[in-house]
């Protein structure tokens, strides 16, 4: 890169090597004005916004005697702060992020915990400051993660869930939530294609844990004695997966004692070779991916299921990212063969925009989770209760305490209907196709892989004019590797948008654009292209 003499922002010692931000052309005047003066800033700072005028501590709130009035006043103030933040989050004239380096942010506010209680006004100031510097994941131009957007019904459900503040281990402490989990998991199994929605399932703390559940069940199904006698009682096991599968497959193997070296990664577009075939006898698990994290690719589920059936191997489909396409009549063909799976991971908190966290593991064999995981804790799972004990679902979980993740999905499903989710998912895929068509032949852009994306992942390089026509391929590659990180840093400095980037194998850093935000529009895609070019044309 060409050298610049512009002053550099201080960096955090925690940031590792110093990334020198190259000054991009200034933002358009109207955009600078909007970022600087928009009303969102009323959320932050010690003198910002209204307050309760109360120096009372939180001990004056309920359950304190006569604490109802103070509680209502305080919570209304919190709701007002949240509502202001929500409205701002959907306003394209506001920043996606008010970025500060860690050392700067630590100095901007007093985040330390004190021995003495803070006043309610201080608590409200902390609420405002927290949201002021938070990422606005609902912003229509936030594309950084697979989980984006903010659904109002889902948010309301999350508020209700926190207010109920219960646990999912037994029917007696979560009667409605347990029933809603039963109903919703059955519906999801029906959509997968399992007869009458039969089977089992659970909501877990995320797709990584759902995938580990699947590997745990696969091992138990093959060697049930491992539950009591441990790994010394079974032969050396292996697991098959794709080279582009999620890292949680190896992490699960490490956690379960199978070992990361025993995870055999099959190269993309290749079938298992003779050496792999010889390992099948000791294989307890074969995982396919429906929607890979980076490329959004779908493994050939039918072909993989045929091999698993031939050798009697557990067939798991990681549909954390792509599973929601089952809701779309236009796109569910990409998961043809998923009905053959023994287990499926499906994360509604991604393409369905259910508030985090909401991840389901669906299992075809009923009762297997209970046999694998139950420990008969008599203080929770008494066998002489006065209701149907099958609704005490906690003993089939690895956790004891389990958060209520079901209500937000169930309430959103009631609000939208299946056709509403279908329309939402189809729109996101239309936007990704629009982006792909806009840049595939545009000067300065190069696609990472050939062909139309299968999911909303659009992977590309932006080549600034300064390196676009370089003849030295090695030097060009070296400089291209630095482009995406600098553009991303500038995006965050200006707060205009956020898109992820990463290298992959021998490929240098490229942008991975994903669209799961229901608020995004075609105009936001146009803005993204223009912003990348504005921020990167001098590199």
Model confidence over 60-84: pLDDT tens digits?
999 999 999 999 999 999 999 999 9
Q: What is the tens place of the pLDDT at every residue in 456-509? A: 999 999 999 999 999 999 999 999 999 999 999 999 999 999 999 999 999 999
Q: What is the dihedral of CA 106, 107, 113, 119, to 10 degrees?
A: -120
- pLDDT category at 27 given cuts 50, 70, 90 is low
Collapsing DSSP to helix, strand or coil, 187 comes out as helix
d(CA 272, CA 280): 10
Q: Are 481 and 507 in contact (CB under 8 A)?
A: no
Residue closest to 62 by CA, chosen among 127, 120, 145: 120
Q: Which of 4-13, 175-184, 231-240, 262-271 has the lowest mean pLDDT?
A: 4-13
- Across the chain, mean pLDDT equals 91
Does 400 have pLDDT greater than 60?
A: yes
Please report the pLDDT score of residue 275 as a whole number. 58
CA separation for the pair 108, 114 (Å, rounded): 17
Beta-strand relationship, 445-447 and 458-462: antiparallel
498: which strand partners?
142
Residue with tokens 């929607």: 291
Higher pLDDT, 213 or 109: 213
Cα-atom radius of gyration of the chain, to the nearest Å?
26
H/E element, 32 = helix 29-37
Of all helices (H) and strands (E), which one includes residue 166? none
- Helix axis angle, 473-494 to 522-536, nearest 10°: 120
| DSSP at 160 | H
- Contact (Cβ atoms closer than 8 angstroms) between residue 223 and residue 233: yes
The CA distance from 407 to 390, in Å, is 20
The pLDDT of residue 37: 36
Assigned token pair, 264: 């055999």
Q: What percent of the chain has pLDDT over 70?
A: 88
Chain center to CA of 81:
25
Work out the average pLDDT over 185-195. Answer: 98
| Nearest partner of 490 among 480, 482, 481, 502, judged by Cα | 482
Please give the pLDDT value at position 271.
64
Q: Give the pLDDT band (50/70/90) at residue 12.
A: very low
CA 361 centroid distance within chain: 15
Mean pLDDT across 222-226: 97
Q: Where in the chain is the domain with CATH 3.40.640.10?
A: 167-404
- Helix axis angle, 248-255 to 207-222, nearest 10°: 50
User: In the structure, what pLDDT confidence band is assigned to residue 245 with cuts at 50, 70 and 90?
Assistant: very high
Report residue 39 as tokens.
Answer: 């009303």
Vertex 153 angle, CA 149 and 159, to 5°: 95
Using pLDDT thresholds of 50, 70 and 90, give the confidence band for residue 29. very low
Number of residues that make up the chain:
539
What is the full DSSP assignment across 226-278? HHHH-GGGSPPPEEEEETTS-THHHHHHHHTTS-GGGEEEEPTT----HHHHH
The pLDDT-based confidence of 340 (bands split at 50, 70, 90) is very high
Confidence band, pLDDT 50/70/90 cuts, at residue 14: very low
Q: How far apart are CA 104 and CA 106, in angstroms?
A: 5
The CATH 3.90.1150.170 portion of the chain extends over: 417-536
- Residue 153, CA distances (Å) to 95, 143, 355, 408, 500 in order: 24, 21, 10, 7, 28
Distance between alpha carbon 174 and the CA centroid of its chain, in Å? 26
In a 3-state reduction of DSSP, which class is residue 175? helix
Topology (CATH) of 417-536 = 3.90.1150
Find the mean pLDDT for residues 123-132. Answer: 97
Q: Identify the pLDDT of residue 49.
A: 44
Vertex 464 angle, CA 458 and 467, to 5°: 120
Mean pLDDT of 181-209: 98
SS3 203: strand
Are the C-beta atoms of 315 and 304 separated by less than 8 Å? yes
Per the model's pLDDT, the better-predicted residue between 15 and 22 turns out to be: 22
Cis peptide upstream of residue 63 (ω within 30 degrees of 0)? yes
**For the chain, what is the total number of helices (H) and then of strands (E)?**
16, 12
CA-based torsion, 233, 234, 236, 239: positive or negative: negative
Strands 507-513 and 498-504: antiparallel
φ/ψ bin of 98: left (φ > 0), alpha (ψ from -120 to 50), beta (otherwise): beta
Taking only the tens place, the pLDDT of each residue in 350-359 is 999 999 999 9
Burial class (CB in 10 A: 0-12, 13-18, 19+), 94: buried
For residue 193, give the DSSP letter: T
The architecture (CATH level 2) of 167-404 comes to 3-Layer(aba) Sandwich (3.40)
Whether the CB-CB separation of 466 and 533 falls below 8 Å is answered with no
State the pLDDT at residue 269: 73
CB 204 within 8 A of CB 213: yes
Residue 278 CB coordination number (10 Å): 10
């Amino acid at each position: 890169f060409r050298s610049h003499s512009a002053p550099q922002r201080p960096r955090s010692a925690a940031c590792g090597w110093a990334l020198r931000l190259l000054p991009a052309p200034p933002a358009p005047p109207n955009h600078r004005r909007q970022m600087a003066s928009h009303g969102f800033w009323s959320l932050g700072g010690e003198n910002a916004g209204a307050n309760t005028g109360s120096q009372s501590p939180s001990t004056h709130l309920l359950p304190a005697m006569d604490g109802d009035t103070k509680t209502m006043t305080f919570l209304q103030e919190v709701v007002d702060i949240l509502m202001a933040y929500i409205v701002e989050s959907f306003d394209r004239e506001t920043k996606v992020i008010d970025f500060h380096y860690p050392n700067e942010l630590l100095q901007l506010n007093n985040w330390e915990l004190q021995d003495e209680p803070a006043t309610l006004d201080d608590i409200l100031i902390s609420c405002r400051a927290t949201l002021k510097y938070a990422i606005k994941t609902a912003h229509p131009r936030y594309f950084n993660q697979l989980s984006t957007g903010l659904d109002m019904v889902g948010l309301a459900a999350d508020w209700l869930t926190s207010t109920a503040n219960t646990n999912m281990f037994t029917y007696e402490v979560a009667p409605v939530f347990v029933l809603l989990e039963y109903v919703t998991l059955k519906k999801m199994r029906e959509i997968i294609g399992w007869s009458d929605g039969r089977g089992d399932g659970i909501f877990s703390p995320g797709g990584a844990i759902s995938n580990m559940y699947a590997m745990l069940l696969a091992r138990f199904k093959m060697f049930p004695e491992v539950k009591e006698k441990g790994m010394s009682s079974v032969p050396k096991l292996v697991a098959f997966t794709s080279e582009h599968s999620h890292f949680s497959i190896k992490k699960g193997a490490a956690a379960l004692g199978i070992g990361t070296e025993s995870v055999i990664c099959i190269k993309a577009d290749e079938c298992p070779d003779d050496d792999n075939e010889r390992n099948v006898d000791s294989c307890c698990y074969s995982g396919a991916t429906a929607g890979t994290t980076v490329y959004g690719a779908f493994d050939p589920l039918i072909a993989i299921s045929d091999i698993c059936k031939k050798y009697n191997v557990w067939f798991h489909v990681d549909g954390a990212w792509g599973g929601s396409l089952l809701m779309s009549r236009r796109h569910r063909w990409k998961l043809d063969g998923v009905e053959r799976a023994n287990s499926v991971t499906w994360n509604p908190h991604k393409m369905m925009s259910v508030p985090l966290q909401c991840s389901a593991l669906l299992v075809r064999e009923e009762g297997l989770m209970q046999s694998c995981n139950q420990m008969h804790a008599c203080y929770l799972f008494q066998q002489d209760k006065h209701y149907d004990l099958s609704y005490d679902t906690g003993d089939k979980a690895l956790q004891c305490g389990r958060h209520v993740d079901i209500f937000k999905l169930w309430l959103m499903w009631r609000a939208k209907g299946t056709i509403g989710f279908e329309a939402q998912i189809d729109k996101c895929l239309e936007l990704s196709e629009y982006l792909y068509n806009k840049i595939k032949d545009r000067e300065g852009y190069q696609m990472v892989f050939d062909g139309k994306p299968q999911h909303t992942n659009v992977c590309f390089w932006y080549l600034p004019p300064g390196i676009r026509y370089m003849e030295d391929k090695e030097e060009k590659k070296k400089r291209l590797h630095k482009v995406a990180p600098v553009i991303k840093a500038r995006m965050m400095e200006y707060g205009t948008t956020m898109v992820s980037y990463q290298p992959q194998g021998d490929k240098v850093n490229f942008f991975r654009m994903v669209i799961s935000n229901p608020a995004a529009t075609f105009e936001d895609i146009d803005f993204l292209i223009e912003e990348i070019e504005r921020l990167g044309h001098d590199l």
